[in-house]
Structure 1
Amino acid sequence: MYIPKFYKNENQEDIQNFIHQNGFGILVNQTNGKLWATHIPLLLEEKDGKQILVGHVSKLNPQAESFQDNDEVLAIFSGAHSYISSSWYDHENVPTWNYLAVHVYGKVAIYHHEQAVNSLKKLVDKYETKSKNPIRIEDLSSKTMREARGIIAFEIEITAIEAQKKLSQNRDDKNYKNIISELEKTNDTQAIAIANEMKKNR
């Protein structure tokens, strides 16, 4: 993606935390001669000292079959975002949008069934931590777990990562602080999240 120098994020720890916190991504590739996108949760893991993404799609999803012929994919992770009115500046300018995003490029390798079930365990364990009565894949009946036969699980060997943190870094302190103040007045959760990110960033 296009990233002006002001907004490029190269802090690897920050990027990893972002993916962990915003794990519901968009997986994009070429499928049957056209661009195809699937909205799925993806886990960032470490394997042999390298970062990988792990996920799954339905076997009925045409994207699953396309992995055999074209293993190159793009995973897109989005964070908070908000409109920025130029009326908040002390000078005339155009409105814009502040946001956080990470693009991960890589190559897909398909899992066999046992690996697929193991990846499901990790995914469920991560998101069940906030449940009052968390479930575990290990406790589900064999009848229920037969549904796992209907997925294609995979890992993505990461070849490149691009991260953008567009938080009005090109503004002077006075305008920067005013943008934060105006965002906080909106009572919009996305706007307030961006205000908080701006506070941490400068």
Structure 2
Amino acid sequence: MRQNPSFAMTDVGELRRLVDGNPWVTLVSRNDDGLVASHYAVLLDDERDDLTIVGHVGRPDEVVLGLGERELLVVVQGPHGYISPGWYGDVQSVPTWNFVSAHLTGIPELLSPEENLRVLEKLVARFESRLSKPRHLWQPPNDPSFVQKLERGTVGFRLTPTRVVAKRKLSQNKTPEVVETIIAELSGDGPYADPQLAAEMRRAHDAIAAARAAAESAPR
């Protein structure tokens, strides 16, 4: 992903929020046949405070992806959506796409069966927690033999990225008035309404305004 300093996303806390809120990722690697990609859910490693993630793949994807042997690119896609040139006012303009995305690259560490099972338990608990009657991995009718067979069909991994490229392209190059118009359009009921993207723009631009105010009030 080509980086633009104006759109660079470097704050670890914000990157962790992005990963945590968008756990369905794309795993990209290269084997003898060329580029390969798979799609899985991941979690932040709750024993770390960096961008280390844990997850699993179904066999034989660990062979296809070369887990533990080659670099793995993890693509995290946050809120994104179409931005109409009509929202900029009566000026020369073209359509664009606003988005938040991160690329995490590194060589994954393979987990032991015991570690993999704990990750599987956490994944199920994480997503079931939103239900009124969550069902957990070990809950009947699942029994130990079923869960152990499930674990043997997967390979767990932990990845601490050695390279991170993240981009938050949210109309930072537009005037405050245009930004407010875009947020209003995304918050409305039009065909390209996207409340998540609107909220992400509001968060980013509030942070920019706060940083600018702090810089202007600092002693000189």
SS in 2 for 1:124: helix
CA shift digits 1:10-45 (9 cap, x unpaired):
121111011001011011111233111111001111
Q: Specify every segment of 5 or more residues in structure 2 that has no aligned partner in the other structure, as ranges.
A: 206-220
* Greater Cα shift, 183-192 or 31-40: 183-192
Kept in 1: contact 2:82–2:192 (CA 8 A): no
TM-score normalised to the size of structure 1?
0.90
* Greater Cα shift, 172-181 or 15-24: 172-181
Change (3 A) 1:86 1:44: same
Q: Calculate the aligned-residue CA RMSD, in Å.
A: 2.1
Q: How many matched pairs?
A: 201
Pairing 1:126-165 to 2, within 5 Å after superposition: 126-139=126-139, 140-145=142-147, 146-165=149-168
Pairing 1:18-167 to 2, within 5 Å after superposition: 18-47=18-47, 50-61=50-61, 63-64=63-64, 66-67=66-67, 69-70=69-70, 72-90=71-89, 91-139=91-139, 140-145=142-147, 146-167=149-170
The one of 194, 199, 214 equivalent to 1:196 is 199
TM-score normalised to the size of structure 2?
0.83
Q: Specify every segment of 5 or more residues in structure 1 that has no aligned partner in the other structure, as ranges.
A: none
Kept in 2: contact 1:31–1:62 (CA 8 A): no
CA shift digits 1:42-74 (9 cap, x unpaired):
11115566542111111132645622542x111
> 2: CA distance between counterparts of 1:35 and 1:23?
22
- Structure having the larger proportion of residues in strand: 1
SS in 1 for 2:120: helix
Give the C-alpha shift of residue 132 in structure 1: 2.1
Percent sequence identity over aligned pairs: 26
> 2: CA distance between counterparts of 1:115 and 1:31?
26
